[in-house]
Structure 1
Amino acid sequence: MAKKRGKGAGTTYFHKASNRWCAELNLGYDGDGKPLRVRSYHSTRKEAEGWLAEQVALYHKGLLADPSAITLQEWAERWLERKRREVRPRTFESYQYELGLVLPTLGKLPLQKITPSHIRALVDNLLQTRKPRTARAVRTRLHAIFEEALNLEVIHRNPVSPVKVKLPRGSTTDRAGRSLEAHEAAALLTALDTYKDERIALSLRLMLNLGLRVGETLGLQWQDLDLEAGTLTIRRAWSDGRLTEPKTPSSRRTLPVPHSTLERLRAYHAMWEDRLGETPPATLWLFPGNDPTRPLDYRAPAHALRRIVKALGIPPLRVHDLRHSYGSHLLANGAPLELVSERMGHANANITLSIYRHVLEHERQGWVVDVETLLSRPRAKA
């Protein structure tokens, strides 16, 4: 009977099937006497021995995880439970949805046994059955989960890192949505001036003219509006029936209000003074719902916008496209990228660049310098 190798013992050998050198480290045996091992394949014996020496050193320091300890399903559930307390409900639901596309396939596998080839096959399948945006989101979520396991020394490498999501040629996945053409924006603003519900009309105008998110708009209180200075400050957001912090620290921002919008806000303030018989209290919602202790229903602006654009004959438009239109038009009119990032409340300018790259590329095409023309110009006399 062959003698069992002890825990922490390893070997290297040539693996004919793969035509590579295999390094194998024994981590003991499970309850059925089956060996628990980690393996790695290399081009040369020297590379295999080097990898094995590193793993042996980690094992004897107590830093090498037991590959049978936890499955992806179990680890993902723990990760989700933490995230439930950290992120907004809608964000948490998106995490659940994305991982729901993974766990039926890979959930039962131990974390240590999931390889880049598993991730590659998963991503390729998603690219065939789902939108590229979904495939990328799933890959991002998995990377975060495995990265946490790596940092906590549950695994010794992140199998997601080598796998990238290659988008189809011409994909617009990076874009936040459709940007209104100038004539469409003009028609929409005119329609808002005569819309029956002043709250919804003005809230949609703020999204278009200041680039606010829906939750930021509905979370506004009168104390956030300075009619004298002409500024609006974002301090909170309303989402899923509850108040939350702004999406990122950078989302806490004070914005200058365009003159035409400021005039409408002043008229709106005067209307509420007449209606209440006093100046609106500082903590009263700028756009209260039928129950004045709560803002407008989160879905109300979207429903109204859908009806308005249909009546105008404008192609379908999401509420978030109003914010996207604001950012696009700022950049198209020469606003610096850093300023646009600040106004939009992005965490950094790289996020703005990734979303609005198509706008900047279009603008760059207009910067054409004809050197011959420059050289042919008469020089100014001294």
Structure 2
Amino acid sequence: MAKEKNGERSALRRTKGPGSVFRDANSVWHYRMAMPADPVTGKRRIIEAKGKVKSETCARFEAKLAEYERLGRIPSKNSPYLRDCLERWLTDIASRIKPRVFETYRSECHAIAGAIGVVRLERLAPEHVRLTLDTLAPGRSGKTLADYRIRLRQALAAAMREGLIQSNPVDLTEPPRIEPNDTAILAPGQPIDAIKAAEVDDPDGMWRLMFRLTFATGMRQAERFAVAPEQLITRNGIHGIQVDRELQHYNGDNTPPEWLRARQLTPHMWIAPPKSRKSIRFVPIDTTLWLDLKTWATEHRIPDGQPIFTRKGHTLTNPVERRLWIKALQAAGLPYVTIRSARHFYATQLAAGGASEDARKAIMGHTKISVTAGYTHWRPEDLAALAGEARAAIGESAVV
């Protein structure tokens, strides 16, 4: 009989293959193998499987070993397929990024895997990257293709850090050309016509108030949908909204990680921090709108922490707002523009009013002024007025 040692029976090694197989004091079989240190962390790694029967334990170990090899977690005679590399990368980053961002990444990786997922990492070449973009190009914008390229580059960069590949083939390709899409916006004076026309399908005036808020603040839709009574504040005598949250929809098991500090409203709706740190900001609004928002919250008995705007007790959604916005435009006889264009309208009016770059960036909640510039649409008459001011500075002596 095998000798007892520290509460376990001495190891019974397999006749073939590496690793050790032993049965502990509880008659549970263990198959354990030490693996090479993790190339990133340098930490020692051990793969182990357990079972009541030795053969079952060995089978579980072999399956686990094969899975580790498939995902590239340990060396093997064949490098993992790209689809498995993408799967592992998604698993590794899942807990570090916001759920909505993760959903986007997963969708992009799924599309990439559909194009070249069966290629092994060691055989990946620049032509595979180009093939991916060519395959995914139909019906997609240059910006979307650029996002696919970035995602593939990120996953392969992780594979490089782990020693699975020596170079990143994405770096040897050119990014796709991105043609900017012009966003149509309403002209000055037109938003009020759409706001008034909202009354057709808005008996209690909620959407009219929402559309006023949209054009008067340029807030993102998710930020507007999350506005709660306590965000209506007065700072240094100035009425405004403290933008510090947004409403997010998370499907199925895709719940937010604890570090995000999100608060659940319904099974699928959450109040979460806004898009970025720069998105946390104070947006001044006129006294009339501020008081109307306050009155709305009071009359409808909206407690702190709860969204001011709801539809029959339910949080608002993009399809509902889009449908009512289109109806308002049609009733007002205005050209079609997206409700999101109100954010562009607001940024444009800030610039036309002479707001500095820092002020525009702060009010819009952007990290870079280049992003704010993308929301700014100069009208010929505004440019002409500025050009006239520049010419006036020349002086009369310059007039021929």
When the two structures are superposed, what TM-score results if normalisation uses the length of structure 2?
0.65
Deviation of the 1:348 alpha carbon:
2.5
Deviation of the 1:318 alpha carbon:
2.4
Aligned residues of 1:67 and 1:111 also touching (Cα < 8 A): no
Deviation of the 1:206 alpha carbon:
1.9
Match of 2:298 in 1: 273
Structure 2 residues without counterparts, runs of 5 or longer: 1-74, 250-268
Q: Aligned partners of 2:93 and 2:339: how far apart in 1? A: 27
When the two structures are superposed, what TM-score results if normalisation uses the length of structure 1?
0.67
Deviation of the 1:225 alpha carbon:
0.7
Q: Aligned partners of 1:313 and 1:375: how far apart in 2? A: 46
Aligned residues of 1:222 and 1:281 also touching (Cα < 8 A): yes
Match of 2:281 in 1: 253
Q: 1:309 aligns with which of 322, 329, 338?
A: 329
Q: Does 1:160 align with 2:170?
A: yes
State the secondary structure of the residue aligned to 1:103.
Answer: helix
Q: Does 1:221 align with 2:249?
A: no
Match of 1:329 in 2: 349
Aligned residues of 2:82 and 2:116 also touching (Cα < 8 A): yes
What percentage of aligned pairs have identical amino acids? 21
What amino acid is the match of 1:255? V
State the secondary structure of the residue aligned to 1:242.
Answer: strand
Q: 1:244 aligns with which of 272, 276, 289?
A: 272
Deviation of the 1:333 alpha carbon:
3.2
Aligned residues of 2:345 and 2:376 also touching (Cα < 8 A): no
Match of 2:288 in 1: 263
Q: Aligned partners of 1:70 and 1:179: how far apart in 2? A: 49
Q: 1:178 aligns with which of 184, 194, 198?
A: 184
Structure 1 residues without counterparts, runs of 5 or longer: 1-64
Match of 1:290 in 2: 312
Report the RMSD for the aligned CA atoms in angstroms: 3.5
Q: Map 1:124-163 onto structure 2 (within 5 A).
A: 124-163=134-173
What amino acid is the match of 1:281? P
Deviation of the 1:373 alpha carbon:
5.3
Aligned residues of 2:228 and 2:304 also touching (Cα < 8 A): yes
Q: Aligned partners of 1:362 and 1:68: how far apart in 2? A: 65
Q: Map 1:80-119 onto structure 2 (within 5 A).
A: 80-119=90-129
Q: Aligned partners of 2:381 and 2:151: how far apart in 1? A: 32
Match of 1:345 in 2: 365
Q: 1:148-173 CA distances to partner (integer Å, 9 max, x unpaired)?
A: 333444433222234333437xx324
Q: Aligned partners of 2:298 and 2:217: how far apart in 1? A: 24
Q: Aligned partners of 2:188 and 2:393: how far apart in 1? A: 35
Q: Do the aligned partners of residues 364 and 111 (structure 1) sit closer, same or farther apart at CA in structure 2, a change above 3 Å counting?
A: farther
Aligned residues of 1:179 and 1:321 also touching (Cα < 8 A): yes
The number of equivalent residue pairs is: 302
Deviation of the 1:137 alpha carbon:
2.0
Q: 2:203 aligns with which of 196, 220, 225?
A: 196
Aligned residues of 2:297 and 2:308 also touching (Cα < 8 A): no
Deviation of the 1:350 alpha carbon:
3.4
Deviates more, 1:141-150 or 1:194-203: 194-203
Aligned residues of 1:234 and 1:254 also touching (Cα < 8 A): yes
What amino acid is the match of 2:209? L
Aligned residues of 1:73 and 1:108 also touching (Cα < 8 A): yes
State the secondary structure of the residue aligned to 2:242.
Answer: strand
Aligned residues of 2:195 and 2:328 also touching (Cα < 8 A): no
Deviation of the 1:97 alpha carbon:
3.0
Q: Do the aligned partners of residues 286 and 128 (structure 1) sit closer, same or farther apart at CA in structure 2, a change above 3 Å counting?
A: closer
Deviation of the 1:300 alpha carbon:
2.7
